Structure 1
Amino acid sequence: MFDKILIANRGEIALRVIRACREMGIQTVAVHSVADADAMHVRMADESVCIGPNPSSDSYLNPAAVIAACEITGAQAVHPGYGFLSENANFVQMLEDHDITFIGPRAEHIRIMGDKITAKDTMKALGVPCVPGSEGGVDDVEEAKRVAAEIGYPVIIKATAGGGGRGMKVAQNEKGLEVAFRTARSEAKAAFGNPDVYIEKYLQKPRHIEIQVFGDGKGRAVHLGERDCSLQRRHQKVLEEAPGPAISPEERARIGAICADAVAKIQYAGAGTIEFLYEDGEFYFIEMNTRLQVEHPVTEAIFGVDLVRQQILVASGQEMEFQQEDLSIRGHAIEVRINAEKLPGFTPCPGRINQYHAPGGLGVRMDSALYDGYSIPPYYDSLIGKLIVHGRDRDEALARLNRALGELIIDGVDTTIPLFRALLQEPDIQQGNYSIHWLERWLEQHAN
């Protein structure tokens, strides 16, 4: 087992990893930018190292600075959290070259899943169901028209190196295809430095379902059910719950087994999430995230496992502490992402926290790095906390979420708390009746 782990991240996820390490008796090193000198993850860690100025490109996204911090402190391993360097294959290779363990999958798996076309081809070969679409990248408008005619409109054009909804455009018919194609390529080039795109059938009212998988890197893998992440704004998740309200036990077992078998065959190591669009009883693969997800706590709640602990165990060469038959779902869990944003436009709202009070009680978990007097810097993501609730069933989880939101106090900045309180009054949310388009339409209706 490692004696010391460096956490190459900030905010609530850095605290999450520090807590797991502390329970395992492992020393921790926090890295931080100048802006984060007084951040909670810096205060909580055993050691801290400043790795650069405020912009993330000069600090949290600087592999050389992170490796230098490892060498200064003697950290034997790096936990990347999510975002930043968590899916950077070159960084993983650099760590390996310096005899530092990356707590996550091998570089080759990050590379495979980091390219949407290669990921789709790989998953299809492993028996994972995929959305009908082009066999690879589409280079020109005429080829795009041929593919669209074969699979039928509407279609969606996606950047091969995409994420977060960038480089993604929908065409309802051939007339709109040319503009959508050129726009997607232009956005992809600007956002990722890679203009390559591919085309898929655009599903009308799908849900976004993701399967949590975990592998030991030696050919054994399990799945930990699904999460429904359909409530999204501009392709960014807002609320996640597990198990999915629309997924039957039979469907869960079927798609879970397919996913676990796929990652076992490639000898995947650690936590990963295979994401699908789900419509009319069918699952269609869209991507795999080779890291811990923001919404991992809802899975932890219903299975009673610590996914970060398991990541550390596997990375150190030890065995997972469970097999598939040991995993059973208990109750229902929901997570809402608390962002420092001003509604209704969701404008980032950094500033000083005058008062912070976290909710408590049975079945309530608050993952946040806030404290009284903390100043939220303007340089990073606006996520400032995750409120997770767990109940015996979905109705109890919803009741606990409503109660916990009422207890949560974040004074000094605007947040998305009012959004969730309003959503809980909607019959569709109460009944679990929503698709990936539901929230955007609701926001349009309530714009005024």
Structure 2
Amino acid sequence: MFDKILIANRGEVAVRVIRACKEMGIKTVAVFSEADRDALHVNMADESYCIGGVRLKDSYLNMDAILTVALETHSKAIHPGYGMLSENPEFAKKCAENGLTLIGPSAEVMEQMGQKEMARAIAISAGVPVTPGSDILDNAKMAHEEADRIGYPVILKARSGGGGKGIRIVRTPEELDNAFELVKKEAASSFADDAIFMEKYLENVKHVEVQILADKKGKVVILGDRDCSVQRKNQKLIEECPAPVLSDKLRKEMYEASTRLTKKVGYVTVGTIEFLVKGDSFYFMEMNTRLQVEHSVTEMVSGIDIVEWQIRTAAGMDISFEQSDVYTGNHAIECRICAENSKDFKPSTGTVKMLHVPGGVGVRFDSALYTDYKVPPFYDSMLGKLIVCASTRDGAIRKMKSALSEFVLVGVDNNREMHMKFMDNNRFIIGNYDTSICQKVL
């Protein structure tokens, strides 16, 4: 087991990893930008070091600075959190070259599953259903030919995309040329890779993901599934575990497909396989080779600390429990609390004047906020995750409504009221909502 881990991230996830390390008796090293000198993770870690300016490329994406601190502090591993460098195969290779363990899968697996057209091919070889799609599109002419073959509407995707970037829905041939150029430019600027491909765009679908855990001996355990269909501009807002209105037969098929894919690619540690679900059919979207923001809802239902097991399996430990040991009898819901204007959803900043976090059995708030903390304008707008768990879905909805009504954050505009709208929405309450629900509620 590692005796010291550097956390190459900030905010809520850095705090989450530090807490897990403390419980495991592992020393922690935090890195931070000049804008984060007063951040909570800086004060919680055993050691903290500034690695650069406020811009991401100067600090949290500065591979050389992070590696230098890790080596100078004699850290044995680096936890990348989510986002940032968490799915960067180049960083994984550099860690290995310097004798450091990046807590995640190998660089080779990251590369394979991070390039979406390659991931599709691997999924097909593992017998996992995929939507009709194309190879990499060389030019707009090829895009038109493929769109005619697949049938409109289609969706253009950046090969190295993620986080809702590098995606455009195209409904008619007239829209295709402009969308093709936009996606290529966005892909180049966001991911330094302008390769894009095309898939059939499925409407009125659910976005369901499966949480996997795998060790170095090839053992794979499914920790549960999550419904992530409440999205605005491809950004998840609410997640719940397990996914409602999913039949036992379909769930079993998705778990079996996820296990096959995990074994096919030789995956180790924590990962998530995302699917689109339409009726009784499901289609592979992508595999996230990292810890997910929404891992917390699965923890609440299963009682398994996903971050701790991510660290254990990365260190080479075997999974000590069986699939039958994973508890699935509860229901959990997570609302992402973001710093944004409630009218136009623009990101907001400010100083936390007052913070009251709801409590009670089955209520959890994962955050790096504290009173007098100044929310900087340079990073992701998520302030925290409010999570509740109950024995039934109806009970979880009632508990979330209670927790949201109790939650108080003064000084920074946030989206608490937006979440209340969803908890009162009939379609959400019934559970048969799909990815179009935001257009109907907001």
TM bin (shorter chain): over 0.9
Structure 1: how far apart are the matches of 2:75 and 2:186? Answer: 39
Aligned ranges for residues 110-125 of structure 1 at < 5 Å?
Answer: 110-125=110-125
Q: Deviations over 1:234-274 (max 9, x none)?
A: 00000000111121222111111111122123221111111
Structure 2 residue matching 1:347: 3-state secondary structure: coil
Structure 2: how far apart are the matches of 1:12 and 1:190? Answer: 26
Percent sequence identity is: 47
Aligned to 2:81: 81
Aligned to 1:438: 437
Q: Which amino acid aligns with 1:72?
A: E
Contact 1:207–1:228, Cα closer than 8 Å, also in 2: yes
Q: Which amino acid aligns with 1:132?
A: P
Aligned to 2:10: 10
Aligned to 1:278: 277
Q: 293-302 vs 163-172, which deviates more? A: 163-172
Alignment of 1:339 onto 2:338: yes
Q: Which amino acid aligns with 2:182?
A: T
Q: Which amino acid aligns with 1:253?
A: K
Deviation at 1:369, TM superposition (A): 0.7
Alignment of 1:397 onto 2:396: yes
Structure 2: how far apart are the matches of 1:213 and 1:68? Answer: 32
Alignment of 1:92 onto 2:92: yes
Structure 2: how far apart are the matches of 1:220 and 1:101? Answer: 20
Aligned to 1:324: 323
Structure 2 residue matching 1:341: 3-state secondary structure: coil
Structure 1: how far apart are the matches of 2:192 and 2:46? Answer: 38
Aligned ranges for residues 169-180 of structure 1 at < 5 Å?
Answer: 169-180=168-179
Structure 2: how far apart are the matches of 1:377 and 1:183? Answer: 29
Q: Deviations over 1:291-345 (max 9, x none)?
A: 0000000111111100111111111111113222222302100001000111221
The runs of 5 or more residues in structure 2 that have no matched partner are: none
Contact 2:158–2:187, Cα closer than 8 Å, also in 1: yes
Q: Deviations over 1:378-407 (max 9, x none)?
A: 111111110000000100000110011111
Contact 2:216–2:318, Cα closer than 8 Å, also in 1: no
| TM-score (norm: length of structure 2) | 0.97
How large is the RMSD of aligned CA atoms in angstroms? 1.3
Aligned to 2:132: 132
Structure 1 residue matching 2:41: 3-state secondary structure: helix
Alignment of 1:198 onto 2:197: yes
Q: Deviations over 1:63-121 (max 9, x none)?
A: 11111111222111111110111111111111111111111100001111111111111
Alignment of 1:48 onto 2:48: yes
Alignment of 1:232 onto 2:228: no
Structure 2: how far apart are the matches of 1:372 and 1:180? Answer: 44
Contact 1:78–1:103, Cα closer than 8 Å, also in 2: yes
Q: Deviations over 1:35-71 (max 9, x none)?
A: 1111111111111111111111111111111111112
Structure 1: how far apart are the matches of 2:291 and 2:247? Answer: 25
Q: Which amino acid aligns with 2:39?
A: A
Contact 1:359–1:408, Cα closer than 8 Å, also in 2: yes
The runs of 5 or more residues in structure 1 that have no matched partner are: 444-448
Q: 315-324 vs 106-115, which deviates more? A: 315-324
Structure 1 residue matching 2:211: 3-state secondary structure: strand
Contact 1:130–1:285, Cα closer than 8 Å, also in 2: yes
Aligned to 1:446: none
Q: 120-129 vs 188-197, which deviates more? A: 188-197
| TM-score (norm: length of structure 1) | 0.96
Contact 1:223–1:257, Cα closer than 8 Å, also in 2: no
Q: Which amino acid aligns with 1:6?
A: L
Q: 337-346 vs 165-174, which deviates more? A: 165-174
Q: Which amino acid aligns with 1:85?
A: L
Structure 1 residue matching 2:86: 3-state secondary structure: coil
Structure 1 residue matching 2:187: 3-state secondary structure: helix
Q: 156-165 vs 27-36, which deviates more? A: 156-165
Aligned ranges for residues 242-321 of structure 1 at < 5 Å?
Answer: 242-321=241-320
Deviation at 1:368, TM superposition (A): 0.7
Aligned to 1:184: 183
Distance 1:107 1:127, change over 3 A: same
Aligned to 1:167: 166
